[in-house]
Chain A
Amino acid sequence: MSYYLATKKELIDWIQRLAAENQLYFPEKHGEASYRFNRVGPKSEIQFDRYIPTVVPPVKLLVPAREELLRFRTDAEGKTEVQPSLDTSFRVIAGVRSCDLKGISLMDLFFKDGVPDAYYLARRENTAIIGYSCNTPCDESAFCAAVDSLDHTEGADVYVTPVKEGDLLVEVKTSLGEKLTAGVDWKKCEDPEARRIGAVTARPEPFGRSFPAPLPDTMKIVADKYQSAVWEKHVKRCFSCGTCNLVCPTCYCFDVVDDLNLDAASGNRSRSWDGCMLPHFAEVSGGHNFRAEPAARQRHRVNRKFTYLPEKYEHGAVCVGCGRCGRQCTSHIDIFDIVTDLIQEGSR
């Protein structure tokens, strides 16, 4: 592990150098007030200061919205050939904040579980991540500190922390990170821990929104509130449009379809994002829907983040507090408000 102190300009020049040689993605302004992880070209603007979480998290580069899984063809003798469509191209994702880093770490856990997902892993193993620490909450929607993801650095190959005096502390965390930083002429940092602590203690307190109960208690309350009027309250405004699922860094559900060509001998299999807030998600053959009502779907979604997956993986909250679902919900239904309501319902 190496530590450097770089200036902002040195860091941006380095990212631009990497982008010239690699597929590199960075959050780029898009629309009036949104960001997207876009491929960086010679004319892209690289800046770290202004940022709110991108519309869709960077995990889109590991699990795209739609992807071909395999192609098949049956020849005249009836022999079928199957060709998997694995994407092993090397890419760099830079400017990944801690909430999204934690999202990717959790996705690593989910996609390696059981039968490891070859498509996810092919991309993940060929992806380098440059993380960036937040000094201030990105906006009033964030609650990363409340779910312990503010200082998540695992999964990054290089992690950058803005420290005092305008310098950036660059932690090179993996051998891939060493490769990416080979040849840089940045100042070596002799006291990384002190610098890091300095940056952390200079942050505002509380950092973003916080739940009215500590996280372990919060999670227990969510689990205990299977029957609650809160589940009916917020869904009055819900369109079941699935936005909260689709923009979530830890929602991984997908739908698989086979598409047979007109020759009835060849075709492909693909998958695309799906989400448990969508009305037909839990509908089975014969037409029965296990969660036909939006309230049942919302309860399921919140429990997936605070109860079911944490229990299954013996992990803390699976919500990373990025605030995307609340920020982007057309009706401004916010998982933070739902959980807060559940906590307060008990204490009244």
Chain B
Amino acid sequence: MKPKVAFFDFSSCEGCQLAILNCEDILLDILNLVDLVEFRMALTETAPRYDVAFVEGSIHRDEDIERILDIRARSTYLVALGACACIGNVQARSNFVAPAVNYGEIYGEEARNRVQVDPDYWDLWSHTRVRPIDAIVKVDAYLRGCPIVPREFLHLVKSLLQGTQPFFPPNAVCVDCKMNENECVLERGLTCMGPVTWGGCDSICINSGYVCDGCRGTLPHANVEAHIELMREHNIDDRDIRSRYRLFMGAEPIGRGV
């Protein structure tokens, strides 16, 4: 029997699911080997149990918690799909600002007060509790990045179909950068999150002339202290350093700590 596969999303742009739909050259071969039972973006059916659930998006509201618990209970293997599900992503920046402050800034004093006194707006406070899905449920595999790397998706799918252990080396983005012979952007005085960030992305941003923003999350062995010290040596002030750590990593322990 073909394994039953489902896709779900929480707070996200659904770009990672789109990235999967974009794997056109191999997608039909995969679909011959699995039974796709739920995929809001491409399918209307639903199913009671899943062998593999791919979950995109971050957790904000109590309803999200109930739903992710339900998905977990019905899934044998659960994959966090993309930066929102893995680390919370950019929306976790709202963890550091009260909704009333945002409303006040955009809609004025009256709106600021309304958000605080009108119970219809209290749900907004859930956006100060943006969490990755592993804050609620056990995750069996992480497909990192904003968006995910199709090669890693394929590696995971093949490993699951072939019964082998998927492996994503816990190496910094610097490894990808060196393999691509990039000039180190830190040497040019730019702030790069590469030394503390999970690699495997082929350093695509640096190859294209940008820096690493850390969308794949901090490495388990990340030497954050040294990284902050290094940025200070490059005359980057602490406010900017904090902002860099909270761009993608705001919901991670390190993003909360800096």
Contact = CB atoms under 8 A, between A and B. Distances in A.
Q: Is the interface of B mostly helix, strand, loop or mixed?
A: helix
A33 B183 contact: yes
A164 interface: no
B178 A247 contact: yes
B83 interface: no
Contacts, number: 91
Contacts of A315: none
A238 B223 contact: yes
A66 B179 contact: yes
A275 B169 CA distance: 12
B178 A56 contact: yes
B199 to A, nearest CB: 9
B172 A241 contact: yes
B172 A242 contact: yes
A30 B181 contact: yes
Interface stretch (B9-17, B97-105, B226-234): B226-234
A307 B169 CA distance: 29
Contacts of B171: 241-242, 278-280
Contact of B174 (A34, A239, A259, A261): A239
Contacts of A273: 179
Contacts of A238: 223, 226
Q: Which of the four size classes fits the interface of chain B?
A: 20 to 34
A186 to B, nearest CB: 33
Interface residues of A, number: 36
B175 A31 contact: no
Contacts of B183: 30-34, 55
B239 interface: no
Q: Is the interface of A mostly helix, strand, loop or mixed?
A: loop
B178 to A, nearest CB: 4
B18 interface: no
A328 interface: yes
A345 B188 CA distance: 34
B226 A262 contact: no
A65 interface: yes
A328 B172 contact: no
B196 interface: yes
Contacts of B172: 239-242
Contact of B221 (A33, A55, A236, A240): A240
14 contacts: A55-B181, A55-B182, A56-B181, A238-B226, A239-B172, A239-B222, A246-B175, A260-B158, A261-B158, A262-B30, A275-B175, A328-B178, A330-B184, A330-B230
What 8 A-B pairs have minimum CB-CB distances, sorted nearest first? Answer: A31-B183, A241-B174, A246-B178, A65-B179, A241-B172, A239-B195, A34-B183, A237-B226
Interface of B: 26, 29-30, 33, 158, 161-162, 169-172, 174-175, 178-184, 186-188, 194-196, 220-223, 226-227, 229-230
